[in-house]
A and B are shown apart, each in its own frame.
Chain A
Amino acid sequence: MFSLFQFLRSTVFTKIVMAVTGLMIVGFLAGHLLGNLLMFSGPEKINAYAFGLKSLGPILWIVRLTLISALGLHVWSSIKLSNRNRAARPIAYQEKKSLKSTFASRTMMYSGLAILFFVIYHLLHYTFGLIQPQTYFDNSYTLKSGEVVHNVFNMVVAGFQNPFIALSYLFAIIFVSAHISHSVSSASRTLGIHNPKYLALTSRIGRALAAIFLIGYLSIPIAVFSGIIKPACDNTEACAAMKDCCK
């Protein structure tokens, strides 16, 4: 009577997929933030780090494919479940109060969709270099070791010196932060943690992560936009086109 097929179809299982993939992405966001904060240690550090990542070869691809599949599964299950939820209440209430739920918990699908668009935009921007090609291509940096590598530092500075791009990142990070604030405790519940003490801890961890990600990720566009981080001086056209180049 009960098959694996039904297991895959059950809402409880779909939710487990969502929780596991979501937490994988949270893990990635933590690592990504630590890497990004190297922007504050100057061009040498972050360019060497980025070069190191790119030199991982097959390992980098395994990590990338894992993350993309996690995101894909996460989005697939969220669409499946939220379609179901919409069908479960075809007629809306004339008046409906929210009792205990947080705003973030009620708007997960919206923050999620905003994040999805941002992820695509962000990859086009800094991974494929298509949003600001002039700062991506032909923008190299010579490490102390003599190795000539991509100048990630100046690419990021050029990005955030543009007010529209800085603003788009600001909004995206607010959405990520809202999503995370509900997701850690929600995922813990979905995965079966039911001791009230641990549950209280997970919601505190979720809120703390949301705050850390908000401050951490935002610190970079703010530092660039306010001129605390200046472009690395070299004689490329990319540098010449930037504000504060070689000042």
Chain B
Amino acid sequence: MNLQLKVWRQQNANTKGNFTDYTLNEISPDMSFLEMLDVLNEQLLGCGQDPVAFDHDCREGICGSCSMMINGKPHGPENMTTTCQLHMRKFNDGDNIVIEPWRASAFPVIKDLAVNRSAFDRIIQAGGFISVNTGNAQDGNTLPIPKPDADAAMDAAACIGCGACVAACKNASAMLFTAAKIAHLGYLPQGQPERHKRVLRMVHQMDSEGFGNCTNTLDCEAACPKGISADNIAKLNQDYLKAKLRGISA
């Protein structure tokens, strides 16, 4: 298939970027979107031009690095799919494809489509963990966990930190990411001792990173490649309120 690409090119965080048009011919519908970009980069290198920088690692939908906005939707047209798992057969011959980086002040562009998502790491560092003394792992069956709680924790734990929620949100809010991390630990007994401090600290860090706030439009859950529910955000709000009403300080 033949494609017209419109790709965001930006030298680094301090320069202004702009869109550049590229034409690609004979793309196989069986290629992944990233393989299509690989072909583009080969073509660019062949003419001595700078290849398009984009993040990728696992190419199997679990690392969350292949972030890019494709035709106005994070990770492209297919629901619950990362860019690396998106196939070119989802497009038609002759299509125009607009490719942009995540746009958020908390995710500065490193180069072209690659953005710096360290803000997410700092939110995790603020409280997205449990403190345990090392030693032998205890027997799993000594910690009974109700099935619905285990399921809810597992669903939230599916978050790969890709940032699609921030990208899709009209406010560039990181509430779905933060809420998923909080819910994943908050549904489990191991997460209880630090539950209240965790929510206070992570929300504080999220705010300091300059993300927007949640207006419950739910575009985040629709964009999430792992289908994480925005109901987790409501749970975060409840945990936050409870922590504050109990006078917990972080």
Q: Is the CB of A96 within 8 A of B72?
A: yes
Please tell me if A207 contacts chain B, counting CB pairs below 8 Å: no
- Which stretch of A56-64, A80-88, A225-233, A234-242 is in the interface? A80-88
Bitwise interface map of A from 176 to 187 toward B, beta carbon under 8 Å scored 1, else 0? 000000100110
* Chain B interface residue bracket vs A: 35 or more
- Which stretch of B26-34, B36-44, B55-63, B232-240 is in the interface? B232-240
Please tell me if B192 contacts chain A, counting CB pairs below 8 Å: no
Contact A192-B237, Cβ < 8 Å, known A1-B250, A85-B213, A91-B103: yes
Q: Is the CB of B244 within 8 A of A13?
A: yes
Q: Is the CB of B207 within 8 A of A11?
A: yes
Q: Is the CB of A194 within 8 A of B231?
A: yes
Q: Is the CB of B215 within 8 A of A192?
A: no
- Chain B interface mostly helix, strand, loop or mixed? mixed
Within the complex, the shortest CB–CB distance from B38 to chain A, in Å, comes to: 23
Bitwise interface map of B from 203 to 240 toward A, beta carbon under 8 Å scored 1, else 0? 11011001111111111011100000111111111111
Of residues B69, B105, B172, B234, which shows the largest number of chain A Cβ atoms within 10 Å of its Cβ? B234
Please tell me if A98 contacts chain B, counting CB pairs below 8 Å: yes
Which one, A11, A90, A95, A105, contacts B217 given CB within 8 A?
A105
A-side contacts of B241, CB under 8 Å? 16, 191-192
Within the complex, the shortest CB–CB distance from A92 to chain B, in Å, comes to: 7
Please tell me if B73 contacts chain A, counting CB pairs below 8 Å: yes
CA of A13 to CA of B8 in the docked complex: distance in angstroms?
37
CA of A186 to CA of B203 in the docked complex: distance in angstroms?
19
Could you list 23 A-B pairs, sorted by A, with CB under 8 Å?
A1-B249, A2-B201, A11-B206, A81-B212, A81-B213, A89-B104, A93-B72, A95-B69, A97-B73, A99-B73, A99-B168, A99-B219, A99-B222, A100-B221, A106-B217, A108-B215, A188-B234, A189-B231, A189-B233, A190-B237, A192-B235, A196-B229, A196-B231
Known: A94-B8, A95-B98, A98-B219. 12 other contacts (CB 8 A): A2-B250, A10-B240, A11-B207, A16-B237, A87-B210, A88-B211, A89-B103, A89-B172, A95-B100, A100-B218, A101-B170, A189-B233
